[in-house]
Structure 1
Amino acid sequence: MAVTLAQLKAFEQIVRLGSFHAAARHLGVTQPSISQRIRELEAELGVALFTRNGPRVMMTADGQALVEYATRTLGAADDMVARFRSRDPLLGVLRIGVTETFALICLPDLVSRLEERHSQLTISVTVGDAGMISTLLNNHQLDLGVVTQPDVGSHIQQLPIGQIELGWVAGPEVRLPQAPLTPMQLATRHLIGSPESARLYATMMNWFAAGGAVPSRVSTCNSLSVTIRMVLASLAIGLLPIRVVAAELERGAAVRVPVTIPVDAHRVSLCYQVADFGPSLQSVVDVTQELIVEHRLFRSPIL
């Protein structure tokens, strides 16, 4: 037998009202029913929760210790009911999935602004590639996602929010010719990119294919921030979102590699569960769009 919410509710009301009789009347059940719930709770926990003195009861030390647990558990249950009855993700845990580009530039500000507007909000963030975020959205495991070229079902609303510029980037120690490189020439260099499951990897291979080339040495890394460090250390040339290395390019810590064929930009969408959309989720969408514009995250902020 496990502890039940009914048992904890009976315990809570006895503590609040001071007697089994008053708790039974408040909950609309018989006093023997309340007594049975407490006996079952005490048996499950292996402790006595009350001492009885006529109609009045006093809590034992174990009863005192249980108060906080019962309050938290019942509060969480109430929050759960409110969340699903209202279909408002801001009443519970807001589950957000984002690309690493968005996470590196905008995520701290997004969390800060949501906290200002919704002080009790809890946020669960997943950072991953487009395939991962799309899958989580499709499986109802995320409320909202910032996704590159999403592959989602009809229960997910897609709001186009921009295009992210991509380019080949090298560290300052890499020797590059004066003229732009062809895919055939770049294919002989040591390259680093996202794993094969990522959209960025497919974009890289399609770029080489368009130039009739196949790269001979491609390392992969599932962390964009680590990939950037590898590029800055001049260990390999990487295909990167230009916005995330804009500061390094400006101060000369990185060099944009000129190429003869431009790399296609990635389309980015803000995606959310259609069934959960309402004023609360709209406020999250609005804040996200504000930050994208402020941080100039995309080449075309709003399409």
Structure 2
Amino acid sequence: MAITLAQVRAFERIARLGSFHAAAQHVGITQPSISHRIQDLEAILGTELFIRNGPRITLTADGHSFLEYADRLLETADEAAVRFKKRNPLLGLLRLGVNESFAHVCLTDLMSHLEQQYPKLMTSVTVGDTGMISGLLNDHQLDIAVISEPGVASHIQRVPIGRNELAWVASSKLKLPSGILTPSDLAQNHVIVSPQTARLHTTMTNWFSLGGRPPSRVSTCNSLSVTLLMIKSGFAIGLVPVRVVAEELARGELVAVPVTVPVEAHRVFLCYQIVEFGPDLEAIVAVTKELISHHQLFR
């Protein structure tokens, strides 16, 4: 047998009101019914919760201990009911999806804002590529997301928020040919890029196809941070968002490779479940756009 919320609520009302009769009236059931719920609850827990002295009752030691659990269970149940009745993810768990560019530059600031404005809010953050995040949105597993070129269904609203500029970068230690390089020139190098589910991988493949020659060696990595470490070590060259490597370029750790064919920027969208959109989620959309503008993440 499992504990039910009806049993927990019956227990909590008896503990607070001091009698089975008063609790039954408050809950809207008969006294025998509420007594039956407590009997079942005590059987499940294997302990007595009340000391019965005529019409008045007092809590046992275990009863006092269980009251803390009851309060938390009922509070969570009430919060869940309000969250789904109002269709507002900011009243419970906000499921956030972001691409790695946003995660590297803006995510910390967004989380700080959420902490200040919604101190009880819990967040679940998924960092991933276009394919992953689009799939989670379509399956209703995310409430809001920042992604490039999303492939989302009609129940997802897309708000354009800029373009993610891309560039070929390499370690300053790597000896590349001088001058402006063609796709064929770069094809001779070891390339590291996001997996095939990522829009970046498609952009890389299309770019090399313009030169009529695929790269001789391609490695994939699903972590932009690790990809950058390998590029900086000279392991390979990579196609990455310019804003994410701005500091490394300024310090001279990385260099942007001049190329004859410009790399097309990715259109970035802020996506959310239409059914959940309301004033609070609208505020999060607004602050997300403000952070992107403040950090000059997308153009």
TM category (shorter chain) comes to: over 0.9
- Structure 2 stretches lacking a partner, 5+ long: none
Separation in 2, partners of 1:100, 1:211: 28
Size of the alignment, in residue pairs?
Answer: 299
Separation in 2, partners of 1:92, 1:181: 52
Report deviation, 1:78. 0.5
Separation in 1, partners of 2:146, 2:68: 38
Separation in 1, partners of 2:94, 2:63: 34
Separation in 1, partners of 2:33, 2:154: 48
Report deviation, 1:231. 0.8
Report deviation, 1:50. 1.2
Separation in 2, partners of 1:156, 1:197: 20
Equivalent residue number for residue 55 of structure 1 = 55
Aligned-partner residue type, residue 273 of structure 2: Q
Report deviation, 1:63. 1.3
Separation in 2, partners of 1:287, 1:67: 40
Equivalent residue number for residue 285 of structure 2 = 285
Equivalent residue number for residue 184 of structure 2 = 184
Aligned-partner residue type, residue 84 of structure 1: F
Equivalent residue number for residue 206 of structure 2 = 206
Report deviation, 1:54. 1.3
Asked if residue 148 in structure 1 is aligned to residue 148 in structure 2, the reply is yes
Equivalent residue number for residue 253 of structure 1 = 253
Report deviation, 1:169. 0.6
Report deviation, 1:268. 0.3
Equivalent residue number for residue 216 of structure 2 = 216
Equivalent residue number for residue 126 of structure 1 = 126
Root-mean-square deviation (Å) = 0.9
Identity, in percent, stands at 61
Matches within 5 A, 1:65-104: 65-104=65-104
Report deviation, 1:22. 1.3
Stretch of structure 1 that moved more, 203-212 or 58-67:
58-67
Report deviation, 1:177. 2.0
Report deviation, 1:235. 1.2
The DSSP-based 3-state class of the residue aligned with 1:96 is strand
Aligned-partner residue type, residue 89 of structure 2: P
Separation in 2, partners of 1:99, 1:27: 48
Report deviation, 1:259. 1.1
- Structure 1 stretches lacking a partner, 5+ long: none
Report deviation, 1:244. 0.3
The DSSP-based 3-state class of the residue aligned with 1:52 is strand
Separation in 2, partners of 1:29, 1:45: 23
Tell me the TM-score normalised to structure 2 length: 0.98
Separation in 1, partners of 2:225, 2:233: 13
The DSSP-based 3-state class of the residue aligned with 1:226 is helix
Equivalent residue number for residue 228 of structure 2 = 228
Report deviation, 1:85. 0.7
Deviations 1:98-142 (A, max 9, x none): 001101110010011122122221111111111111111111111
Separation in 2, partners of 1:116, 1:237: 41
Aligned-partner residue type, residue 124 of structure 1: S
Separation in 1, partners of 2:137, 2:38: 42
Separation in 2, partners of 1:40, 1:209: 70
Report deviation, 1:10. 0.4
Aligned-partner residue type, residue 280 of structure 2: S
Aligned-partner residue type, residue 190 of structure 2: H
Equivalent residue number for residue 46 of structure 2 = 46
Deviations 1:129-171 (A, max 9, x none): 1111111111111111101100011111100000000111111
Deviations 1:183-209 (A, max 9, x none): 111111111000111111111011000
Separation in 1, partners of 2:57, 2:232: 70
The DSSP-based 3-state class of the residue aligned with 1:29 is coil
Separation in 1, partners of 2:187, 2:50: 77
Separation in 2, partners of 1:234, 1:87: 49
Separation in 2, partners of 1:58, 1:123: 40
Separation in 1, partners of 2:223, 2:68: 41
Aligned-partner residue type, residue 295 of structure 2: H
Aligned-partner residue type, residue 5 of structure 2: L
Tell me the TM-score normalised to structure 1 length: 0.97
